[in-house]
């Protein structure tokens, strides 16, 4: 059953009015979908929610065309910057294998604008053909390092799962392009803001905002934000910012598989083993994939390990906008690649399918150096340990050439552990903002970059930019840092 678009711009509620155009869009029949939408909107008696559903399907087509901009010649041209002697036969082989994401829209084949770069992440053969095989710009904590070792050592020594606290000062900036909104009109902005999570992030304090008077959503808001308003000035960009401090902890739960039992599904846990259309659905393909991965295993932790390992083999690739996807978990299963949120939703679906509670987290990751990025991960419930972290994108940590004693114990660090270099903005996905948005969200699933609108409608990602800055301040263990 399809879900109607709601105030948050996510897919909430349930109304089949958008089923037909949605399927037409997924099949690449945009002209037919537009005709279906126009005919439906002309019918009397539609509710506001139904009109919203249809309007969002029209907006989804527009967003898809922003993501899919390349023809075959443009893809070849980009690939030849890395593979100067690329042949048409090579291109045709990779294309036929589905390694270059594309859609046929009204008879025209269009490729995802990130597909040339994604090819080198998806295909070892393509990587080997690069003239300049420089490493990918991945985060430093995706490789086993001294931070992981220190987290485990501290957790075992102190008999606690939350260790190595660090106090961080963070500034988030959202800048709307000049003249994106008529002069004098009020721009409304939502900047992601963290919730307090015991043992993970605590003592959150707003320091300042621009303009002053940021409205912080209640602590209970699962996708929490700081809300700001400012009037547009002709010829000038409109900047919003917030600065806050918080204390972050690394996490490590020393899980003994023999102690893990199947958790009774209480009313509190029931939502986290349930389907949640459109992005968590127990399809036949999902059941078959789960069966191949799990086999006859019955221990919940071992099942979680098998599913984590299976999804970890799916290569990371840059994703199209989530709002353009009708079922993210299913998309990731069939695409054979996915970014952090897509991998996480796939793993959540598989865990829930096996009766193991799983839920979402997302926010921002950074380092002591210059690296920072948006990121998604999750949590899994394992009795008797309760909710523990999982980050399938960081995956299993392999001991490298400079392995140290005990590194074998860190392979599953990210199935029960978490580094201290991340801030969670969201404890769920596709949840309403406070105050509510009037128009569609640019990001209907996640909330990391921010959202902007004015009385004339939503401002999409191509009309504004965002930034994340941080530096270390005093922690209980004493540490300094450098502004980035």
Query: Tens of pLDDT along 408-430?
Result: 999 999 999 999 999 999 999 99
Structure tokens at 428: 């769920």
Mean pLDDT of the chain: 94
Going by DSSP bridges, is the β-strand pair 186-192/201-210 parallel, antiparallel, or unpaired? unpaired
The arithmetic mean of pLDDT across residues 344-371, rounded, is: 97
The arithmetic mean of pLDDT across residues 45-72, rounded, is: 96
The predicted-structure confidence for 380-395, as pLDDT tens digits, reads as follows 999 999 999 999 999 9
The arithmetic mean of pLDDT across residues 141-148, rounded, is: 96
Q: Check if the beta carbon of residue 74 is closer than 8 Å to that of residue 103.
A: no
Residues 266 and 255: their CA atoms lie apart, in Å, by 22
The arithmetic mean of pLDDT across residues 158-168, rounded, is: 98
Instruction: State yes or no: pLDDT of 12 exceeds 70.
Output: no
The arithmetic mean of pLDDT across residues 227-246, rounded, is: 98
Instruction: State yes or no: pLDDT of 481 exceeds 60.
Output: no
pLDDT tier, 18 (very low <50, low <70, confident <90, very high otherwise)? confident
- Least confident range from 57-71, 365-379, 463-477: namely 463-477
Instruction: State yes or no: pLDDT of 172 exceeds 70.
Output: yes
Structure tokens at 324: 């353009």
Which three-class secondary structure string do you get for the chain? CCCCECCCCCECCCCHHHHHHHHHHHCCCHHHHHHHHHHHHCCCCCCHHHHHHHHHHHHHHHHHHHHEEECHHHHHHHHCCCCCCCCHHHHHHHHHCCCCCEEEECCEEEEECCHHHHHHHHCHHHHHCCCCCCCCCCCHHHCCCHHHHHHHHHHHHHCCCEEEEEEEEEEEEEEECCCCCCCCCEEEEEEECCCCECCCEEEEEEEEEECCCCEECCCCCCECEEEEEEECCCCCCEEEEEEEEEEEEEEECCCCHHHCECCCCCCCCHHHHCCECCCECCCHHHHHHHHHHHCCCCCHHHHHHHHHHHHHCCCECCCCCHHHCCCHHHHHHHHCCECHHHHHHHHHHHHHHCCCCEEEEEEEEECCCCCEEEEEEEEEEEECCEEEEECCCCCCCCCCCCCCCCHHHHCCCCECEECCCEEEEECCCCCCCCCCCCCCCCCCCCCCCCEEEECCEEECHHHEEEEEEEEEECCCCCCCCCCC
Residues 115 and 189: their CA atoms lie apart, in Å, by 31
What percentage of the chain carries pLDDT values higher than 70? 95
- Least confident range from 6-15, 202-211, 356-365: namely 6-15
Residues 280 and 328: their CA atoms lie apart, in Å, by 8
The predicted-structure confidence for 193-225, as pLDDT tens digits, reads as follows 999 999 999 999 999 999 999 999 999 999 999
pLDDT of residue 443: 98
Instruction: List Cα–Cα distances, 412 to 309, 355, 481, in angstroms.
Output: 10, 21, 29
pLDDT of residue 10: 41
The predicted-structure confidence for 253-303, as pLDDT tens digits, reads as follows 999 999 999 999 999 999 999 999 999 999 999 999 999 999 999 999 999
pLDDT tier, 137 (very low <50, low <70, confident <90, very high otherwise)? confident
- Least confident range from 65-69, 211-215, 319-323, 398-402: namely 398-402
pLDDT tier, 447 (very low <50, low <70, confident <90, very high otherwise)? very high
pLDDT tier, 330 (very low <50, low <70, confident <90, very high otherwise)? very high
What percentage of the chain carries pLDDT values higher than 90? 91
Structure tokens at 226: 């700081």
Domains of the chain: residue spans and CATH = 16-68 (no CATH), 71-128 (no CATH), 138-484 (3.10.620.30)
Q: Check if the beta carbon of residue 52 is closer than 8 Å to that of residue 39.
A: no
Instruction: State yes or no: pLDDT of 455 exceeds 70.
Output: yes
Residues 18 and 54: their CA atoms lie apart, in Å, by 6
Residues 418 and 200: their CA atoms lie apart, in Å, by 9
pLDDT of residue 140: 94
């Amino acid at each position: 059953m399809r879900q109607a678009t709601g105030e948050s711009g996510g897919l909430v509620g349930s109304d089949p009015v958008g089923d037909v155009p949605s399927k037409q869009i997924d099949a690449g029949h945009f002209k037919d979908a537009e005709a279906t939408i126009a005919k439906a909107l002309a019918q009397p008696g539609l509710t506001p929610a139904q009109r919203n559903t249809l309007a969002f399907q029209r907006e989804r087509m527009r967003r898809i065309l922003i993501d899919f901009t390349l023809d075959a010649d443009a893809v070849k041209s980009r690939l030849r910057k890395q593979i100067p002697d690329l042949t048409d036969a090579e291109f045709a082989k990779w294309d036929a294998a589905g390694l270059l994401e594309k859609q046929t829209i009204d008879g025209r084949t269009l490729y995802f604008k990130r597909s040339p770069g994604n090819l080198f992440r998806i295909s070892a053969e393509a990587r080997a053909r690069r003239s300049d095989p420089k490493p990918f710009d991945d985060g430093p904590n995706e490789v086993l390092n001294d931070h992981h070792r220190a987290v485990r050592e501290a957790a075992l020594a102190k008999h606690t799962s939350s260790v190595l606290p660090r106090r961080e000062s963070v500034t988030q900036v959202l800048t709307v392009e000049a003249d994106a909104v008529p002069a004098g009109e009020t721009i409304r902005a939502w900047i992601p803001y963290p919730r307090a999570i015991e043992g993970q992030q605590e003592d959150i304090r707003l320091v300042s905002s621009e303009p002053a008077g940021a409205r912080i959503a209640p602590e209970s808001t699962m996708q929490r934000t700081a809300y700001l308003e400012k009037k547009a000035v002709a010829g000038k960009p409109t900047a919003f910012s917030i600065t806050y401090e918080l204390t972050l902890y690394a996490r490590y739960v020393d899980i003994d598989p023999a102690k893990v039992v199947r958790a009774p599904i209480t009313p509190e846990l029931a939502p986290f083993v349930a389907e949640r259309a459109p992005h968590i659905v127990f399809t036949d393909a999902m059941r078959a994939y789960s069966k191949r991965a799990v086999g006859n295993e019955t221990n919940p932790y071992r099942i979680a390990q098998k599913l984590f390992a299976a999804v970890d083999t799916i290569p990371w690739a840059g994703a199209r906008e989530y709002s353009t996807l009708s079922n993210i978990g299913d998309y990731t299963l069939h695409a054979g690649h996915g970014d952090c949120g897509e991998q996480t939703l796939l793993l959540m679906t598989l865990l829930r399918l096996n009766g193991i509670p799983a839920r979402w987290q997302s926010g921002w990751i950074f380092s002591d150096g210059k690296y920072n990025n948006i990121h998604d991960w999750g949590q899994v419930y394992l009795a008797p340990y309760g909710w523990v972290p999982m980050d399938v994108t960081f995956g299993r940590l392999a001991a490298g050439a400079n392995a140290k004693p005990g590194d074998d114990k860190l392979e599953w660090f990210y199935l029960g552990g978490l580094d201290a270099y991340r801030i969670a903005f969201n404890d769920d996905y596709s949840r309403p903002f406070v105050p509510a948005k009037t128009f569609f969200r640019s990001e209907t699933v996640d909330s990391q970059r921010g959202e902007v609108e004015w009385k004339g409608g939503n401002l999409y990602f191509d009309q504004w930019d965002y930034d994340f800055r941080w530096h270390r301040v005093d922690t209980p263990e004493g540490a300094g840092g450098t502004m980035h």
